[in-house]
Amino acid sequence: MNITNPKKMRTLIRKKEWRDQTAGMIPGFVQANLVILPKKYAIDFASFCVRNPKPCPLLDISSPGEFRTYLAKDADLRTDLPRYHIYKNGKLDQVVLDLMEIWQNDFVSFLLGCSHSFEAVLSSSGIPIRYQEQGINLCLYSTNISMQSVGAFKGNVIVSMRPIPMEKVTRATFISARYPKTHGGPVHIGNPSLIGVDLNIPYIGDKPEFLPGDVPVFWACGVTPQHVALNAKIPFMITHAPGHMFVTDYLLEDLE
Amino acid sequence: MNITNPKKMRTLIRKKEWRDQTAGMIPGFVQANLVILPKKYAIDFASFCVRNPKPCPLLDISSPGEFRTYLAKDADLRTDLPRYHIYKNGKLDQVVLDLMEIWQNDFVSFLLGCSHSFEAVLSSSGIPIRYQEQGINLCLYSTNISMQSVGAFKGNVIVSMRPIPMEKVTRATFISARYPKTHGGPVHIGNPSLIGVDLNIPYIGDKPEFLPGDVPVFWACGVTPQHVALNAKIPFMITHAPGHMFVTDYLLEDLE
């Protein structure tokens, strides 16, 4: 299907005509991770995100009960993502296609930066994205890099790892650092063990093949805040389903 | 008095041995603006700041009742600023030297980026700061640049204006854009009327003398969120007194 703009994409999703991943669709436009929490936990989670901006870049917070976002006029956060995960006490309870039935007036929605936009920028700057070339999933790792904790929210940073040709590491660093809203520059370059990572033990995803001269480069990953919120065993929490993100009307450059 | 580090500065303030402005003290360390609101208004204000990051760069949010901040170990937000303003229904009600008597468990503290750190960077990059040279106050203007509104929080951006020699405008833009936590790059360069500004009518401060070749450059100003919160006529609100900021343990570069 040839979808040319974010509004069209969201309309198809709202009509349930698009139920697949949004990852990779409409390149150039920022896609956001969604976390919805009851108001009771919202200030602590906001505080946690502000204190850990690399893994948790806040793009928007909505008022309690509000399902609009300034990131896309007329969008409805209850219907405009193709798939939602509902967690109870830190466990996946249900997968739903919209939130109309379960929406409550004390829900606070957080939209967070996502590495997909950021990969598009690297890619268009001549930096190869190995996992895409190799047709596998992006590889994430747990690290020993601890975060500022707030109340029940705490843990270590989860990172994504991309093998980068050594002569392009500076470029990848310089370019990604330009975009703090999608995790900014790398948290580590070169030696996995220094951040507690064994390349053979992913947190999730597939270990990519390294080409000669490739160096492992680690970026903070948007999975971190979800992982932290789940570990906090909040009684009730909603997120997007992996890969099924919210498509905004903004280009990455608009948000910086 | 020769104060050499932030902790020493905060200790003197806490002992009431320093009651003056912090502006200009301990160059290099980030100083932060303070806004304290009852929990009831906190999510909306957090949302407002996230949606308007140029005038309202969030450095920290504390949990309700928490008077600590990750920006300085052992600091106490109730005592470590030299002077606080207490506002009721948008009007200045009291000036106090600490908050020990009036602290409540539903107070949420926001620390916001402040242009003082940012001026130090411009200055050390060879960019003249005219109001300092001329021994006057920084000049702020109201603009017609509207912000994303959230609940009672709304209004236009307030800007600071600095005359910059035309051959250094690119440098000032490039350098300041590097630091989004202290308002980032200019919101406008060159033509005041395009943003609704008459240089002869400051919002506050003194109009500086322009030297031949100087161009007016406008940056979003940290007064904006205070101004907005006051206009919202929140029943109870606390801020730092102008110039009497919170001195953090962080260098600007640490926060980016």
Strand extents, DSSP E, A113-195: 139-146, 156-165, 188-189
Q: Is A64 in Cβ contact with B43 (below 8 Å)?
A: yes
Q: Given this model, what pLDDT does residue B1 score?
A: 62
Across the interface, which of A59, A64, A151 has its CB nearest the CB of B63? A151
How much is the pLDDT for B39?
A: 96
Measured between beta carbons, the chain B residues lying within 8 angstroms of A70 are 51, 148
Q: What is the number of alpha carbons within 13 Å of residue B15 lying toward its C-beta?
A: 7
Report, as an integer, the average pLDDT of A205-220: 96
Q: Is B146 on the interface with A (CB under 8 A)?
A: no
Distance from CA of A31 to the nearest CA of B (A): 16
Nearest CA in chain B to A109: B47
What local confidence, expressed as pLDDT, does residue B242 receive? 86
Helix, strand, coil tally for chain B in percent (to 5): 25, 30, 45
Inform me whether the C-beta atom of residue B232 falls under 8 Å from chain A C-beta atoms: no
Which tokens go with B170? 């690119």
What's the pTM?
Answer: 0.89
For residue B61, give the nearest of A39, A47, A180 by CB distance.
A47
CB-nearest partner of B62 from A39, A42, A47: A47
User: What is the chain B residue with the closest CA to A177?
Assistant: B256
B178 part of contact set with chain A, CB < 8 Å:
no
| Residue A256 contacts B where some CB pair is shorter than 8 Å | yes
Test the A interface: residue of B41, B44, B61 with most A CBs within 10 Å: B61
A63 to B151: CB separation less than 8 angstroms, yes or no? yes
Give the pLDDT score at A10.
Answer: 96
Of chain B, the end-to-end C-alpha distance in Å amounts to 31
- On whether any CB of chain A is under 8 Å from the CB of B205, the answer is no
Low-confidence stretches of chain B (pLDDT beneath 50) = none
Searching chain A, which residue's CA lies closest to the CA of residue B50? A60
> What pLDDT is stored for residue A16 in this prediction?
95
CA dihedral B157, B160, B166, B169 (to 10 degrees): -70
Average pLDDT (A76-98) is: 95
Q: Does A147 touch chain B (CB under 8 A)?
A: no
A152 Cβ under 8 Å from any chain B Cβ: no
pLDDT for residue B28: 82
Q: What's the pLDDT score for residue A124? A: 87
pLDDT in tens, A25-81: 888 899 999 999 999 999 999 999 999 999 999 999 999 999 999 999 899 999 999
DSSP H or E segment with residue B191: none
Q: How far apart are the first and last CA of chain A?
A: 31
- What tens digit of pLDDT does each residue of A154-198 get? 999 999 999 999 999 999 999 999 899 999 999 999 999 999 999
List pLDDT tens digits, range B212-249: 999 999 999 988 988 898 899 999 999 999 889 999 99
Q: Give kind and range of the element (H or E) at residue B33.
A: strand B29-38
| Residue of chain A with shortest Cα separation from B47 | A61
Check residue A1 and give its pLDDT: 63
Cβ neighbors of A145 (< 8 A, separation 6 or more) are A156, A157, A159, A187, A188, A195, A196
Average model confidence (pLDDT) across chain A: 93
B100 SS3 class: coil
B138 touches chain A (CB under 8 A): no
Burial group, residue B105, by CB count within 10 angstroms (0-12, 13-18, 19+): exposed
Q: Nearest Cα to A236, choosing from A99, A95, A88? A: A88
As a whole number, the mean pLDDT across chain B is 93
Q: What percent of chain B has pLDDT over 90?
A: 81
Establish if B39 touches chain A: CB-CB under 8 angstroms: yes
Q: CB distance B61–A42 less than 8 Å?
A: no
Question: A47–B63: do the CB atoms touch at under 8 Å?
Answer: yes
Query: Which helix (H) or strand (E) is A153 found in, with range?
Result: none
Using the Cβ of B60 and the Cβ atoms of chain A, whether some distance falls under 8 Å is answered with yes
- Kindly indicate the confidence band of residue A117, based on its pLDDT and cuts at 50, 70 and 90: confident
For the stretch B87-105, pLDDT in tens is 999 999 999 999 999 999 9
**How many Å apart are CA A247 and CA B155, to the nearest integer?**
28
A42 touches chain B (CB under 8 A): yes
Per DSSP, helices labelled H in A52-154 are 115-124, 130-133
Q: What is the pLDDT of residues A134-157, one digit of tens each?
A: 999 899 999 999 999 999 999 999
Measured between CB atoms, which of A51, A58, A151 is closest to B70?
A51
Please check whether residue A62 touches B, CB under 8 A: yes
